[in-house]
Amino acid sequence: MKVLLVPIEFSTWNQARAWSYTGAYAFIDGLKANDINYTFAPLIVGQDGNVNTACLDFVRNKTAEHYDQVWVWCVHGTLPDSYWEWFSKVADLSVGVLMESLTFESYELTEFPHLKNRREIVLEQLKNFDKALVCSESDAVIVHEELGIEATWYPPMIPEEYVNFREPPTSDSAVFVGSNYGKRREYLNDSKLSELLTRPHLPERDTDLPFVFDNILSELPHAFKNHQEFESFRLDLIAIRKTLFELHLEGLRMGFANVNLPSILKGFAGRVVESMCASVPVVSWLPPGKEQGNLFEKNEDILFFSSINECIESLDLLKNNLEYRDRITTNARNKLLTRHTSRIRIRQLLIWIQNGKRINYNRSQAYCPSLEESLYYKELFVKNQSWNRLEPNSDELSRWQVINKFLAETHPIANERLNIAEIGCGRGWLSKLMCKYGEVTALDPIGDVIHYAKSNYQGINFITGSAELLEFLGLDNSYDVVVSSEVLEHITDSQKPNFIKSLVNICKPGGSIIVSTPRRDILEDWINEYGVPNQPTEEWIFEADLTELFIEANCTSLKLERAFLMDIYQIHLFKKKP
């Protein structure tokens, strides 16, 4: 698939600062994560409202590309009719993207009179598109009813690479990052709240990066001479945006919490997921809309307020309870990684564009670990010196000897590079060893553990998630070998069949599945000798039952070996039937 991406950018950082990275550039990260071929051709809006179309003109005049889809950001600036006509010709399907709301309160229109005709302008632009992506549930209804085109709302997203795994900040005050207008003034001018809430001096202001941004945009020509000049501008723009976004995330960490005050945007602002990404607890107003309200769980992922007093109460709770602050941060990060990454969001939007079915943003696309699981495995694989080492310990080495033999016997061709998936990779030691056989994609649901693995091993595609995520991403029947070592016993018995089906689904027909797990057959003897296993879930399985589950999932059992003390580990080799 090929997508032409036409977002809006601004000619100065003073204008562009409020235009969140997550609202435009995160789309690029999401397309990349889904292996979608894209062309980035931003429209540059000047301080006078005029639009520099040099990037789009180069694509239009210098290339003969045809695209499956074109996504164009609307609202700011205007384009001649010829561009709208060209969009319909250059792509099979066109999508209009909005980053601002269509409905406003009377006091908002009084303060910002230019918004009175915003809805009319937007609808005039959107009539040129086949589908629309909008900011809120109500906007989707408006677009569909008035224009008759399909529209869906979409919550903000965050590229997984930016997710921070540090402890929450311990500052004396919370922070608000944003403009002071409308109802926000009541909050920011309240004397009691001001004792807890500040507007920080952001790190970017002490650098020359805003000047660098302005300089890059000021050198944008009205027409590019060649592809090298075109590509150089785009790479420079993306690079400075990434650097400024990283500084922005650090700015969010200047308070013990980040407050999201009422907004002209009738949805969660990007700073909500950005704060969660930065490991900062969020205290937020609740935007209108049932689905908006279900994105995050009250008092578990986020704290909500509807008045100044409620905001103060929430901030007092977070300031005085470090344990609760840690809990909120961990839960929010887990929700972010399983529901709101760019990889997931773009996949959801692509599926919607294809089939038009309503998107359920409140469903995790991978196993979402509990707080107990998150803390336990972070302690085990990141901090415990027996289990955080780069090389396998004696327990792990015993399993590797069998797994290595199975891989060598099943795929003996020396030059054959396999596509391997490891599900439940932990700190990544096994994935690293399997790299000699091919390209390895390694998943684990604990974000802290994946972060630790990324810091230790290069050349592996580490992803926070589970086999269900790979299925959601359209990677059924994609892997020559699927490996899962010491995971099945931590899946409840009722969920074991679904877990096994997911392993089988991502394996190619005729491919191999290697599974190791403790033997239920010797559990009593193990307890008598070594004590009761103590991980959050310990539901061991009999060898015969495990074999039967894989046979029921369309596999053939090829080999079974045992390993380590008391032959505790059953290590199976299965083949998925063609």
pLDDT single digits (tens) 173-195: 999 999 999 999 999 999 999 99
Q: How far is CA 66 from CA 55, 60, 558, in A?
A: 16, 10, 48
Where is average pLDDT lowest: 118-127, 365-374, 452-461? 118-127
How many Å apart are CA 393 and CA 565, to the nearest integer?
Answer: 13
One-letter amino acid identity for 398?
S
**Where does a domain end: 309, 331, 364?**
364
Q: Is the pLDDT of residue 373 over 80?
A: yes
CATH classification at residue 225: 3.40.50
Structure tokens at 386: 């027996």
349 domain-assigned: no
| 186 & 148 share domain | no
Q: Is pLDDT above 90 for 339?
A: yes
C-beta separation of 445 from 464 below 8 A: yes
DSSP per-residue codes, 251-296: HHTTSSSEEE---SSSS--HHHHHHHHTT--EEEE--SSHHHHTSS
* Contact status, residue 121 vs residue 102, Cβ threshold 8 Å: no
Residues 477, 426, single domain; the answer is: yes
470-510 pLDDT tens trace = 999 999 999 999 999 999 999 999 999 999 999 999 999 99
The predicted model gives 29-45 an average pLDDT of 96
**Structural domain for 258, as ranges:** 160-340+359-364
- 172: in domain: yes
Provide the pLDDT for residue 290: 84
Has residue 111 been placed in a domain?
yes
Beta-ladder partners of 22: none
Q: What are phi and psi of 152, to 5 degrees?
A: -135, 145
Taking the CA of residue 558 as centre, how many other CA atoms within 13 Å lie in the half-sphere pointing to its CB?
16
pLDDT value of residue 412? 75
The pLDDT-based confidence of 520 (bands split at 50, 70, 90) is: very high
Strands of 438-444's sheet, edge to edge?
Answer: 461-464, 438-444, 418-423, 479-485, 507-518, 569-576, 555-563
Q: Does residue 413 register a pLDDT over 80?
A: no
434-452 pLDDT per residue, tens: 999 999 999 999 999 999 9
Tokens of 166: 């540090």
Question: At 426, which CATH number?
Answer: 3.40.50.150
CATH number at residue 83: 3.40.50.2000
Residues 271-328: pLDDT tens digits?
A: 999 999 999 999 999 999 888 889 999 999 999 999 999 999 999 999 999 999 999 9
pTM: 0.96
Check pLDDT > 70 for residue 77.
Answer: no
Predicted confidence at residue 507, as pLDDT, reads: 98
Domain count, the chain: 3
Instruction: With beta carbons less than 8 A apart as the criterion, state whether 443 and 421 touch.
Output: yes
